Amino acid sequence: MHRVALSRSGRRVVAALTAVVVLGSTGCAFGRPDDVAQGKPPNLPPPPSPSIGPGAPEDEVGIQVLAKNLEAPWGLAFLPDGSGVFTERDSRKIYTITAGGAIEEIQVVEQAYSRGEGGLMGIAVSPKYATDRTVFIYYTTETDNRIAKLTLGAEPVPIVTGIPVSGIHNGGRLAFGPDGFLYAGTGDASQTGRSQDLKSLGGKILRMTADGKPAPGNPFPNSLIWSYGHRNVQGLAWDAQKRLYATEFGQNRFDEVNLIQRGKNYGWPTVEGRGTNPKFVNPLVVWGTDEASPSGATVTGSVLVAAALKGQRLWVVPLDGKGGLAGEPRSILQGKFGRLRHVARAPDGTLWVLTSNRDGRGEPAPEDDRIIRILPPGTGGVSKL
C-alpha cells in the first residue's frame, strides 16, 4: 500500500471512477464477465460514444477476468515486477498471478486452519522485497490468529501470535503503510469486550516492525495497538497525504469507513455507526449492512474504493485530501459479480478485485470465484457506466 505515481492508464481509471461520483451515477453496467477472454488483455478500438458526460472517453472503463474457478480468494498484494500474489482462505493456498492472467500455485500453508471465517487471509509484500524476498501472511490456527513472514515456497515463521480466534470476526487484513511498518486489522472474535481491552489484540488495528515488535511511536507502551474499539477490520488504505482509512463490519445496523488516528477509540461495542460520546471517534461513512459489509479497500487518486460482500458492489468514496469527504459515495459493479472481498491498486494504477462467492455465504456462478481487473478506457471490454 505504498504511494506510487500513477501511470497514464492509472490516471484514466481514476478519472472514470471520479466521474461516477461527480456526476451522481448510482451504478454501472460493465457487461458480462466473459466479454474479455481470460488472460488476454483486450485490444479493441474505443467505443464510439462516451458513457458519462459529452465526449469524455475517460468516463468509460472496462473489465478483464484474470482468473476463474478460484476458491474464496482473500488477500492480494503486488510484487516489484507488477505481478500479484494472492491467498485462498479455505484451501490455504498462495498463488502468483501476472497481469496477463498466468497463475502459479506456490504452496499450501499447512499451519493454517480453515473454519467459518478463518483460514489463510491477508498477505503483504515487504517494501524491501527486492533484497529480502519476504512476504507476510495472516492466518487462523485452532488456538489463535497469527501473523507470519516467509519466503514464497518456504515455511512461515510466526512473528505475532495470540490474536483472538473464533468462527467469526477474525479480521485478517495486512498492509504496509507509507511509514514502512506493517499494519494488521483484527476482529473481536465474537467477544465484544475485547475491542475496548488494551490487553487484548482483538478488535484493533496493530502496527509493527517486520519482526512483529511494536513499531516506534505506537501510542501504548510495549504494545502493538495503534487504534482500538473496532468490531472487525478488513480494509486498510492510505491516501496521498499518508492518512490511514479502515473499513469495518457493523453488526445489525451500520458498516463504517473510519479515518484512523493514533491511539483513538472507535467505539465498539458501545457505538455502532455514529454516536454523541466525545471519547469515541465517529466514522466518515456509514452504510446499512445490506448495502455494504465492506472488506478490502484501496485509495487511488482522490477516491477510496471499498469492496462490499453483502452489498455486492464497489463503493467509490470521494476524499477531499484533508481527511474528509468531497461528496457522497457511489456504487459501481452492483450485482455484476456477486460478493466482493477485496480491491487493490496495482503498480500500473489498475484495480484488481477479488470475488467471494464460494465462501459459504454466496451463490457461486459457474466460473466463480474470479479475479477481475478494471481497465482504463478505450481498451475494449467496455460498456457504459
Residue 120: predicted pLDDT: 98
pLDDT band at 11 (very low <50, low <70, confident <90, very high): low
- Residue 71 sits at φ, ψ, to 5 deg, of -120, 90
The label of the residue with cell 463504517 reads: 256
The grid coordinates of residue 74 equal 482473500
pLDDT one-digit tens code per residue, 270-326: 999 999 999 999 999 999 999 999 999 999 999 999 999 999 999 999 999 999 999
State phi, psi for 116 to the nearest 5 degrees: 50, -125
Whole-angstrom distance, CA of residue 199 vs CA of residue 227: 13
pLDDT of residue 222: 97
Taking residue 26's Cβ as centre, other Cβ atoms within 10 Å add up to 9
The whole model's pTM is what? 0.88
Q: How confident is the model at residue 99 (pLDDT cuts 50, 70, 90)?
A: very high
Q: pLDDT grade, residue 13 (50/70/90)? A: low
> What pLDDT score does 55 carry?
29
Go through the domains of the chain in sequence order and give each one's CATH number: 8-375 (2.120.10.30)
3-state secondary structure 263-320: CCECCCCCCCCCCCCCCCCCCCEEEECCCCCEEEEEEECCEEEEEECCCCEEEEEEEC
Q: What's the rounded Cα separation, in Å, for the pair 271 and 12?
A: 39
How is residue 187 annotated by DSSP? B
The residues pairing with 373 across neighbouring beta strands, listed in sequence order, are: 64, 352
CA torsion, ordered 45, 48, 51, 54, to nearest 10 deg: 130
94 three-state secondary structure: strand
Model pLDDT for residues 205-261, shown as the tens digit of each residue: 999 999 999 999 999 999 999 999 999 999 999 999 999 999 999 999 999 999 999
